[in-house]
Amino acid sequence: MAHDFSDKDLAAIEATTLEVGRYIFEHRANIRPSVLERRWWDDHIMSWAMQDESVKVQMFRFVDVLPMLKDSASVTRHLHEYFHDVRQHLPMAVRLGLAVATPDSLAGRALAIAARRNATGQARRFIAGANTSEVLAAAMRERKLRRAFTLDLLGEAVTSQREAESYLQAYVNLITGIAPTVNAWPEVPQIDRAELPELPRVNVSIKLSALDSQFDGIDPQGSAQRVSARLRTLLRTAQKHRAFVNVDMESYACKDLTLAIFKQILLEEEFRDLVDVGIVIQCYLRDAEADLHGLLDWARQRRRPVWVRLVKGAYWDYETVHSQAQGWPVPVFQEKWQSDANFEKLSRLVFANHEHLRPALGSHNVRSLAHGVALARHLGLPPGSFELQMLYGMGDQEKQVLADMGHRVRIYMPFGELIPGMAYLVRRLLENTSNDSFLKASFTDRIPPEVLLMNPHEVAARERDSRRLATLPRAPAVVPAANPFQQTFFNEPATDFAVEANRGAMHDALAAVRDELGRHYPLVIGPREADTSERMPSVDPSQKQRVVGTFAVAGVEQANDAVAAAKAAQPAWHALGVEARAEYLRAAASQMRDRRFELAAWQVYECGKGWREADGDVCEAIDFCEYYAQQAVALMGPHGVDVPGEENRFYYLPRGVAVVIAPWNFPLAILTGMTAAALVTGNTVVMKPSEQSSIVAAKLMEIFRALDVPPGVLNYLPGKGEVVGAALVEHPDTALIAFTGSRAVGLAINARAAEVSAAGDVVKRVIAEMGGKNAILVDDDADLDEAVLAVVRSAFGYQGQKCSACSRAIVLDSVYDTFLERLVEATKSLQVGPAEDPGASVGPVIDEESLVRVQRYIDLGKREGRMALAVDIGELSQKGYYVGPHIFADVPRASRLAQEEIFGPVLAVLRARDFSEGIALVNGTDYALTAGVFSRSPANLARAKVEIMVGNLYLNRGITGALVGRQPFGGFKMSGIGSKAGGPDYLSQFVIPRTVTENTMRRGFAPAAGELDATADERG
Ligand SMILES: Cc1cc2nc3c(=O)[nH]c(=O)nc-3n(C[C@H](O)[C@H](O)[C@H](O)COP(=O)(O)OP(=O)(O)OC[C@H]3O[C@@H](n4cnc5c(N)ncnc54)[C@H](O)[C@@H]3O)c2cc1C
């Protein structure tokens, strides 16, 4: 075990590490590339690009898009677009070349050819070939140098089960195709023999997420089942052809699931004795040590060894940025020395237990590798008992020295087509040019070997010292300009359902809520609960026989009572002051946090929301409370400009009684948002939730009542829209109506509210969020992996029942067919099922009426377009209101399918001749809510920002899931009246601005500005 190493052992290992490291450096120096080799030129071009960060970014982005560019004109156009802004940093020759090379000119064509040749050349450096014969030749070359190989088939992101199946098949073909040849090659004992009598020569590395398009930690059983079925086929093929299978490790979200599947399958009878398998542990993860101990315990129980490849990890930037954006704990170490130290610590653990876990070290860092070699020597292990693994095209000099030392060096050889190849190339370029990279430090930065060989703990001490020095007083540094867009509000982090404890909490909440189903919920008017003669059931759309609860149905009389109660409570509520009201909102947010799983569970049952969607809704409700609390305090205080002799006060008053009419699709968030905005600004509220989500609304009422909000400040009035909703809207004492829902109802409310009755004395304010007919435009250079997944998620997430949902995909002609085919397959792979099931990515629509309406549009689609996909839901139709995702292709732009809001899982795909026509199509409806663009042309993205006329435009990402504060949400044209929810000016719609000017001069004497008391109204 790692802790079995005494201090004396560690000192001896350290001394050998330095000795081995120095040996590698000395011998490596003899193998410098000569000026006659291509590698020398590649390195020089790279180091030129590395000198300027802006050039580097543009260069990598250009390399990334290049394979998608069909002709020279497009390549030249992109070159101009990428390098125009950084041209002053380019060498003169390149600058001149760009200046004369217009897209259609001869010079342009020559430039495009040169750019493609260079990028392909770079790719060849890291990618062993495009097909098996090229890769076999590369493998043979390595063998001649006494180096083994493992093959990694580069693939596009797997977006459908068909792609997952063909990915598996490609691996099966690879093994069966090369095994006879490779196994017939003459033996090279240094790499073919291990401690074991013989080691498979054919060796493949595979990523498990590529075996299932729905691979997701939220549903470990379902994912494991699908992956295991394919992995079994692979393992059987490998056994039959004597091949080794290594499971690579991907992003953190996949880690637990990958480890679980690996362990589970190798305990199956058929694979219990398998030893030619391995898995990766990423030492940059804080969890890595615990995972390795888990693996060791498992291997001991299994009594057969497996290989463990220790690496630091390839996704450091992504993990850091992604977890910060989500508000989750960062899973990777934040200081490089920590990853290095952990690599060594875990090396000791693996080497000390090599009879259970066979060590393979995947690194290009001479120190990390030398430490492994030293460990083996210290433990008296023969070189064949462990492996040193390195990537194709990287660290070639070290590889040769280590092979010459008699070690088994295995080369990780990716191979495949240019498109996935470029993504891999960019990852390698980024890694090689990262400031923390060993290779950059040793080659480009020329840091001396004694520094590079330093023990990571010594490095830490040095860094601490230099930080101390940095804090000593010195000349004032240039203070960077403040970022005006800096984040000041932080969103509630979504639940990470890849974490087992969170899944457990959700299962528990679902069970607890199940026990509570069927209860009755009376109205709340003023201080009392009130029942009515009519009750309405709210049913579970996933299982229509199940009654979630019943609620009292309010009529006109109760509407009058509620408005009266709200009116009576309003002056005192206002007098309380903004700070106190904001405190109520914060307390409500806190209650929601405590009850988050339960509140999400209610939504699963009442609205057919999947786990993530329901959890997101609770987070958004919390955000609204916190955000509006923060905003209101800033807004409601007195503002003004005083001059001597004159005091000016500008401040806001509440409008009075607010009626909140909310929809069912974000049953807690939207209701909470509108209610919180009205309350915190001093209005009192009558909540009229949707009939389909009145139980979730009752939970919100419960929360505010538990906080002892004064009676009448908030009233709960469920009922039928046309009765109680209409009565509330028309009531002369209603000052404001905050509505979210359909266009038809929104416009009707607006019209009604404009009619001033004899009894009323205000023009009612209407804030209405209405529908959308949102589009995603896919350019001809788009990353199709990302575009397909984003369209699927935006169109079919919550069954397309979000106002922001994508209901039109507008695709440029040249990528239309490819995109459509992948889109259809990806959608086909979605699982339709009850919202309660975490594996279901598509649940039911909200009710019977909605089902019938969506089906009518499907019938229409068959006439107006070409049905490209209709997902069959089988027997589910008996259980609930299910309708499978539908895709219609070649939909004409003026058709009803392309113009009307459907609010269901129906997507229209339209063809655009070029980007200009695409923009015209995006804009070509009555709505202006959300839209998206997938493009890698900086010029087209810039055009989209200016020309696409919607409230929320998203570039190169999905179009749903706006976050409070970060993406204030709302549209214009027929999509809404008023400003954006979750934005800086939303609250101003709930208040009346006033200005008071006082002449403070008395007989020539005036107090100093600001000395007079604030008036009572300035309480806010
Ligand atoms: C044969 C082989 C197979 C591999 N397979 C996988 C795999 O399946 N999954 C996988 O994720 N990776 C894998 N890798 C690792 C990965 O691709 C990188 O090659 C590796 O992380 C680079 O580490 P290094 O030891 O060569 O270089 P070094 O330069 O010593 O280390 C660089 C690494 O340190 C870490 N790091 C950088 N900055 C910081 C910081 N500020 N704080 C903390 N840590 C930091 C990162 O992991 C970074 O990649 C594999 C590598 C090899 C050689």
> Which tens digit of pLDDT belongs to each residue from 10-50?
999 999 999 999 999 999 866 655 444 455 556 555 666 66
pLDDT averaged over every residue in the chain:
92
Closest among 176, 164, 155 to 414, alpha carbons compared: 155
- Three-state DSSP state, 122: helix
Our answer on whether the CB atom of 311 is closer than 6 Å to any ligand 1 atom is yes
As annotated, the active-site residues are: 769, 803
> What is d(CA 11, CA 18) in angstroms, rounded to the nearest whole number?
11
Torsion of CA 918, 923, 925, 929, to 10 degrees: 120
What is the C-alpha R_g of the chain? 33
Q: How confident is the model over 406-422, as a mean pLDDT?
A: 90
Ligand 1, pocket-test mutation among 206, 281, 311, most atoms within 8 A of CB: 311
What's the token pair of residue 916? 């200009």
pLDDT for residue 657? 98
Is residue 874's pLDDT more than 70? yes
State the pLDDT confidence band at 1018, using cuts at 50, 70 and 90.
Answer: very low
pLDDT for residue 120? 83
Ligand 1, pocket-test mutation among 312, 437, 453, 463, most atoms within 8 A of CB: 312
Q: How far is the CA of 497 from the centre of ligand 1 (A)?
A: 26
Q: How far is the CA of 150 from the centre of ligand 1 (A)?
A: 17
Is residue 115's pLDDT more than 90? no
pLDDT digits (tens, 9 = 90+) for 941-992: 999 999 999 999 999 999 999 999 999 999 999 999 999 999 999 999 999 9
> What is d(CA 912, CA 859) in angstroms, rounded to the nearest whole number?
24
Which residues, 6 or more positions from 768, have their beta carbon under 8 angstroms from its beta carbon?
A: 737, 739, 740, 746, 749, 750, 976, 977, 978
pLDDT digits (tens, 9 = 90+) for 808-826: 999 999 999 999 999 999 9
pLDDT digits (tens, 9 = 90+) for 656-676: 999 999 999 999 999 999 999
pLDDT for residue 39? 57
Whose Cα sits closest to atom 43 in ligand 1? 336
Cβ distance 881 to 847 under 8 Å? Answer: yes
State the pLDDT confidence band at 2, using cuts at 50, 70 and 90.
Answer: very low
Whose Cα sits closest to atom 44 in ligand 1? 336
Whose Cα sits closest to atom 2 in ligand 1? 362
Pairing between strand 684-688 and 657-661?
parallel
Our answer on whether the CB atom of 389 is closer than 6 Å to any ligand 1 atom is yes
pTM above 0.85, yes or no: yes
Q: How far is the CA of 309 from the centre of ligand 1 (A)?
A: 12
Q: Tell me the C-alpha to C-alpha distance, in Å, between residue 458 and each of 3, 335, 338, 467, 529.
A: 20, 13, 11, 14, 69
Cβ distance 542 to 880 under 8 Å? Answer: yes
Our answer on whether the CB atom of 152 is closer than 6 Å to any ligand 1 atom is no
CB atoms within 10 A of CB 468: 9
Our answer on whether the CB atom of 313 is closer than 6 Å to any ligand 1 atom is yes
φ, ψ of residue 33 in degrees (nearest 5): -70, 145
Q: How far is the CA of 365 from the centre of ligand 1 (A)?
A: 9
